Amino acid sequence: MHQNSSEYKKLLKKAERLAYSGLFLMGISIGLLFLKIYDPTLSIFEGKQEIAEVIDEDLIENGIHVRTGFVDDVGLMTVVNNCTNCHSSKLVIQNRMNEDRWNATIKWMQETQNLWPLGDNQKIIVDYLVKNYPPVEKGRRASLTNINWYELKK
């Protein structure tokens, strides 16, 4: 009888533990479910960096000015302050020109786009652009690059 009752107690303990762990898992699942409903992209886990992006206007990461995408080099802020008021930095970064053509582009922007006189800043800006965004020779037709290979399903 004694022995039986201790066996019985052990079983009861085991059942109790099982019930608690079940309850615990259920709690976690419900939590995850709510998280998924209210934050489907689960952005809560990646939010910090984005907040930093918005708040710190001068943040440089891996040599790149995070707010504009410009390369960090001498003249960066002169470029940011003079070249991103009307259009975005993306228009500058896409383009590859030599000194002559950047100067011609600045002249065109002054004649037609209300760009102000740049004074001594013009040389700083053009030097920065020519150094960091130089033209790349592509020839008459470049090879296909960055091909993402995939199995074509029939």
Partner 1 sequence: MERRKFIKKTTLTSLAALIGTEIVFGSNMLKNYKPLALQETDPFKLFSLDSEMVVLNDKPWNIEAKAHLLDDKITPSSKMFIRNNGLIPTEIDEQNWTLTIDGESVKNKTTFTLNDLKTKFKEYTYQLTLECGGNGRSEFDPPAKGNQWTVGAVSCATWTGVRLKDVLEAVGIKNDAVYIGYHAADTHLSGDPSKEPISRGAPMSKALEDETLIAYKMNGKKIPVAHGFPLRLVAGGWPASVSGKWINRISIRNIEHDGTKMTGTAYRVPKFPVAPGEKVKDEDMKIIESMPVKSLITYPKSGAIIKKGDSLAIRGHAWAGDLEVAKMEYSIDFGATWHQASIEKPVNRLAWQHFSAKINFPKVGYYEVWARATDSNNIAQPMLLPGWNPKGYLNNACHRIAIKVK
Would you tell me which residues interact with partner 1 (CB under 8 A)?
41, 43, 50-51, 54-55, 57, 86-88, 90-91, 94-98, 101, 105, 112-115, 135-142, 144, 147-152, 154
CB of 11 to partner 1, least distance (A): 52
The residue type of 74 is: V
Comparing CB distances to partner 1, the nearer of 3 and 41 is: 41
Which sign does the torsion angle of CA 108, 114, 118, 119 carry? positive
H or E, element range at 38: helix 2-38
Q: How far is it, in rounded angstroms, from Cα 117 to Cα 22?
A: 72
Q: What is the DSSP letter of 71?
A: B
Comparing CB distances to partner 1, the nearer of 6 and 148 is: 148
CB of 136 to partner 1, least distance (A): 8
Burial class from Cβ neighbours inside 10 Å (0-12, 13-18, 19+) for residue 126 reads buried
CB of 118 to partner 1, least distance (A): 15
CB of 103 to partner 1, least distance (A): 12
Comparing CB distances to partner 1, the nearer of 20 and 116 is: 116
CB of 38 to partner 1, least distance (A): 14
Residues 6+ apart with CB under 8 A from 83: 89, 92, 125
Comparing CB distances to partner 1, the nearer of 23 and 104 is: 104
Q: How far is it, in rounded angstroms, from Cα 44 to Cα 27?
A: 19
Comparing CB distances to partner 1, the nearer of 2 and 48 is: 48
